[in-house]
Structure 1
């Protein structure tokens, strides 16, 4: 976690220590939820190790996985965290996941007391926006094979741990299409 926050380029070691002092560790077993639809999200977590998926449920009850989350990133239900309203999303562990958790109120205290944390928050929000934009553009302009190949390149050690239905949903394709892609891309 220290390295992640150092990489933002605006925090001192003291700043990061201040966050560590208000954080705690949590293990999410496979299948457990960080946040569920309908809850107000009041926590942010750093993923030390594990795999999570963010998904929502459509009006006809289908689960749509829109994000896969891996080691060394921050997770939260951002719109709920910002607005204080119940989230429409679920964040669920796909494997045992080790988290470092800190409360929204503690993070806000750091931001209000330290301009470095204010800058770090700005950078983090900008990164989230750019990742969301890239995801939307990828879904609209890249072929499913390109999206799958990118995931294989970026997270090869996790692909086999993600259930097929979640991976297909994330890629915006059917399970059958994913099976075909896997056959075509296997050496």
Structure 2
């Protein structure tokens, strides 16, 4: 699985992939456990093998606001914390039993300094993260909650039904009651 993920980018040779995947560690995260918590420093990146994660932050009122879900075959990190070394502004929580491949920041930095293919790979990842963020901002400003829900269903139909309603409603920016109405109206 991890080899296939890196092959998709068409950046690394098979030998390079075989060498650096040995630097990843397999990690199990139980349901409701955290990959990183708000206020902690994020010093690793994970590739999700199985499971679902939600990213959230706490509002001034103390409410958890879910702004992102991560699914199998997604990279996951508190990127701003990972890049700057500052405490994370977000919490990443497993919504199900999960398996990850994790690599520490120092190992990535070493790879980056030894192999120029990592420059290209990290540029692609940064571009993907930017595009995802831009898409999310546009969705929130332009699309209705029903349109945002449909988009999520189209991209992750097998996982949407597994998301707890309170987190899904928070992600969509609506109440659970409104979400129930939308789900009844939309049939896939």
Question: When the two structures are superposed, what TM-score results if normalisation uses the length of structure 2?
Answer: 0.96
Alignment partners' CA distance in 2, 1:114 and 1:82 = 19
**What CA deviation, in whole Å up to 9, does each residue of 1:80-115 have, x standing for no partner?**
000000001000000111100000110111011000
Q: Measure, in 1, the Cα distance between the counterparts of 2:122 and 2:107.
A: 13
Structure 2 portions without partners, runs of 5+: none
- Show the 5 A alignment for 1:156-175: 156-175=157-176
Runs of 4+ in 1 over 4 A off after TM superposition: none
Once the two structures are TM-superposed, the CA of residue 186 in structure 1 deviates from its matched residue by 3.5
Q: What is the distance in 1 between the residues matched to 2:168 and 2:28?
A: 23
The answer for the alignment partner of 1:94 in structure 2 is: 95
Q: Distance in 2 between matches of 1:145 and 1:47?
A: 28
Work out the CA distance in 1 between the residues paired with 2:35 and 2:86: 16
Cα deviation 1:1-39 (Å, max 9, x = unaligned): 211211112111122223211111011111000000110
SS at structure 2 position matched to 1:41: coil
TM-score (norm 1): 0.97
Q: Matched residue pairs, number?
A: 187
Q: Which moved more, 1:18-27 or 1:132-141?
A: 18-27
Partners in 1 of 2:9 and 2:173 — Cα distance?
A: 32
Matches of 1:100 and 1:131 in 2, distance apart?
22
Displacement of 1:157 = 1.4
The answer to whether the aligner puts 1:38 opposite 2:3 as a matched pair is no
Q: Structure 1: state its 5+ residue gaps.
A: none
Q: Secondary structure at the match of 1:161?
A: coil
Match of 1:29 in 2: 30
Partner of 1:56: 57
Give, in whole Å, the separation in 1 of the partners of 2:38 and 2:19: 31
| TM superposition shift of 1:153 | 1.5
Structure 1 Cα separation of the partners of residues 120 and 143 of structure 2: 33
Q: What residue is the counterpart of 1:146 in the other structure?
A: 147
Instruction: Quote the RMSD (CA, aligned, Å).
Output: 1.0
- In the TM superposition, residue 172 of structure 1 has moved relative to its aligned partner by 1.4
1:169 CA displacement? 0.7
